[in-house]
């Protein structure tokens, strides 16, 4: 029963993230790797930014100032990635010899670098219950960054070209930069799955479609431009709408992450106590 309870908790976001009822309650706190329970009264919610106590699987929790900063940084990383991608990609829709198009093309690698950095920040701060999934997305990002630098140094630069233009002209280069976009696909898939965001769900299919269509050569330029424009629009909507969500949404069930930080023996003790409480 303990393993079943634990797997359910870590694989799915808890459904009982509601505000607690009035009256004194218990708060789960993590201090030096130990799980402690202490009372939280209605008049004082410790470090809570709004005094709200949420019910988690392993105990009540609150949103403190450090949580707010972390979520804002996570969302800012997404905005940075979206703004950089849209700016760099807009050259495909501008007149070939316009001054704006030339400026963007000359700085596409800079936009690419800034966008990759923003995505990396968000993947570092993202809250996912299954640690292995988070590490996989981060590994894909790192692999894509290494592949991008290798492609630039070994292929694009010797050809007196920039990275973005080289990938456009040489579809096989998608093999090297693709993992970076795979990590982005994983992030938007998570957002769409957790929050039911339509734009995130659509991006989950559009991003790999554009890359695979370019890599395989089965997609003509007109279709790629339509999908690229759709990608740009949805990415802006996705990143912008993140700031309309409550802060707690991007935190998830904080008690789960506190539980996961505990030593194994203390995890077993907490699970045993939960089983005892549930059986009673």
> Is residue 37 in a domain?
yes
Indicate whether 147 and 37 sit together in one domain: no
Domain count, the chain: 2
Instruction: Assess if residue 253 is contained within a domain.
Output: no
Q: Are residues 50 and 135 in the same domain?
A: no
pLDDT in tens, 162-205: 999 999 999 999 999 999 999 999 999 999 999 999 999 999 99
| Whether residue 203 sits in one domain with residue 139 | yes
Q: Is residue 226 part of a domain?
A: yes
SS3 content of the chain, % helix, strand, coil (to 5): 70, 10, 20
Predicted confidence (pLDDT) per residue in 31-40, tens digit: 333 344 333 3
- 155 shares its domain with 178: yes
Which of 101-133 are b and which e, b meaning 16 or more Cβ less than 10 Å from the residue's Cβ? beebbebbbebbbbbbebbbbbbebbbbbeeee
Q: In the predicted model, what is the mean pLDDT of residues 78-85?
A: 98
Residue 79 tokens read as: 């905005």
- Is residue 229 situated within a structural domain? yes
For residue 45, pLDDT beyond 60: no
Largest alpha-carbon pair distance within the chain? Answer: 75
56-82: average pLDDT = 94
- Report if residue 191 sits inside a domain: yes
Please check whether residues 77 and 144 belong to one and the same domain.
yes
Q: Do 158 and 215 sit in the same domain of this protein?
A: yes
Residue 185 located in a structural domain? yes
Which pLDDT belongs to residue 153?
Answer: 97
Co-location of 115 and 185 in the same domain: yes
Same domain, 236 and 274: no
The residue range of the domain holding 17 is 2-64+264-279
85 with 210, same domain: the answer is yes
Question: Residue 46 domain-assigned?
Answer: yes
pLDDT value, residue 280: 60
* Phi, psi angle pair for 163, to nearest 5°: -65, -50
Closest residue by Cα to residue 170 from 231, 214, 207, 106: 214
Are residues 129 and 199 part of one domain?
yes
Question: Do 170 and 34 share a structural domain?
Answer: no
- Which helix (H) or strand (E) segment holds residue 236: the answer is helix 221-241
Same domain as 149, residue 92: yes
Q: Does 120 map to a domain? A: yes
């Amino acid at each position: 029963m303990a393993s079943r309870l634990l797997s359910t908790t870590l694989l799915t976001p808890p459904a009982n993230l509601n505000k607690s009822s009035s009256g004194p309650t218990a708060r789960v706190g993590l201090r030096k790797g130990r799980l402690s329970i202490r009372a939280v009264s209605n008049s004082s919610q410790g470090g809570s930014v709004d005094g709200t106590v949420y019910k988690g699987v392993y105990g009540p929790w609150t949103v403190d100032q450090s949580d707010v900063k972390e979520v804002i940084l996570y969302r800012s990383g997404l905005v940075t990635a979206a703004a950089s991608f849209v700016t760099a990609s807009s050259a495909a829709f501008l007149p070939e010899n316009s001054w704006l198009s030339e400026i963007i093309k000359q700085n596409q690698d800079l936009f690419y670098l800034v966008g990759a950095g923003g995505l990396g920040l968000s993947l570092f701060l993202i809250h996912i219950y299954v640690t292995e999934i988070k590490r996989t997305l981060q590994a894909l990002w790192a692999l894509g960054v290494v592949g991008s630098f290798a492609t630039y140094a070994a292929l694009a630069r010797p050809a007196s070209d920039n990275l973005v233009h080289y990938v456009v002209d040489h579809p096989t280069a998608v093999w090297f930069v693709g993992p970076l976009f795979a990590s982005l696909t994983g992030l938007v898939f998570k957002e769409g799955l957790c929050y039911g965001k339509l734009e995130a769900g659509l991006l989950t299919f559009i991003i790999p479609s554009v890359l695979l269509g370019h890599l395989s050569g089965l997609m003509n330029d007109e279709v790629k431009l339509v999908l690229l424009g759709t990608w740009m629009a949805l990415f802006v909507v996705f990143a912008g709408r993140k700031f309309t969500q409550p802060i707690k949404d991007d935190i998830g069930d904080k008690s789960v992450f506190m539980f996961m930080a505990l030593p194994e023996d203390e995890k077993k003790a907490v699970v045993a106590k939960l089983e005892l409480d549930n059986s009673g």
